[in-house]
Structure 1
Amino acid sequence: MPAHAAGQAAAHAVDVPSLGAAGFMQAAFGLVLVLALVFGCAWLAKRFGLQRPLAGGPVKVIGGASVGQRERVVVVSVAGDWLVLGVAPGQVRTLHTIAADQVPPDLPAPAPGAAAASAMQFAQRLQQKLRKDR
């Protein structure tokens, strides 16, 4: 009986191909193909405007201040109305609302690229400081 069982086991055994150069090249080609497909889809989405716009939406941040280690008060403009929001981890609450006709005209609205300009100034100052330290 054991010889018969060994014969059946040998008949059911499946040859497992070794992972040689051909298998490695096939896997690498598949990986490159998938990455090219992902980048191609991202390029198409950017080309045809399928991504979400980053700025210029109906909500604009007017200003903000930290009032604690993880709490902030933020003023945002929504359709001309100003909302004073309390922002804490896990929650946002409306503290006050200022109607569009009550918004003081002497307070300038932020420039569209104010945050980007501030970041550029910081980057330039940091580079200058790093050059001086060398």
Structure 2
Amino acid sequence: MYLVVPMVMALAGCVTKPPRPDQLRTPTPDRLLAFQDPSDGDATVIVTRDVGFQGSGCYGAVFVDGKVVAKVATGERITLHIPSGYHVLGTWNTGSGLCGYREGKDRRETAVTLKTGETRRFRIIIDPNAGPSLAPTTIE
């Protein structure tokens, strides 16, 4: 019984949550790999990675149609300019050491159809049981 409360508190500390505006950062340019320059016919996709202890030692690789386009740390936000149309967006953990151990195996994807001029927002959420996921959000 005495172990239940500390275990619940420890697990609660592992849950990620959206960052506050003052916590948001932009990744370094070497981690922004594609879709950085807007073109006619593009949609804007904004991806924000949650903050919290869970998964914080790894980057969240963001991919579009199977190609890694950015590596995002906790509390970072990226803006992608993606041609309109049907795409598969997703994420998985990446990095060195244990982060790369299961690289690509914890892949989570979502299909999206983007319209020209549209802005869509997503969050990278880390679930301690299921790993990373890319979820639509209304949070700015």
TM-score, normalised relative to structure 1: 0.23
- Structure having the higher strand fraction is 2
Q: Answer with 1 or 2: which has the greater Rg.
A: 1
**Which structure dedicates a bigger proportion of its chain to helix?**
1
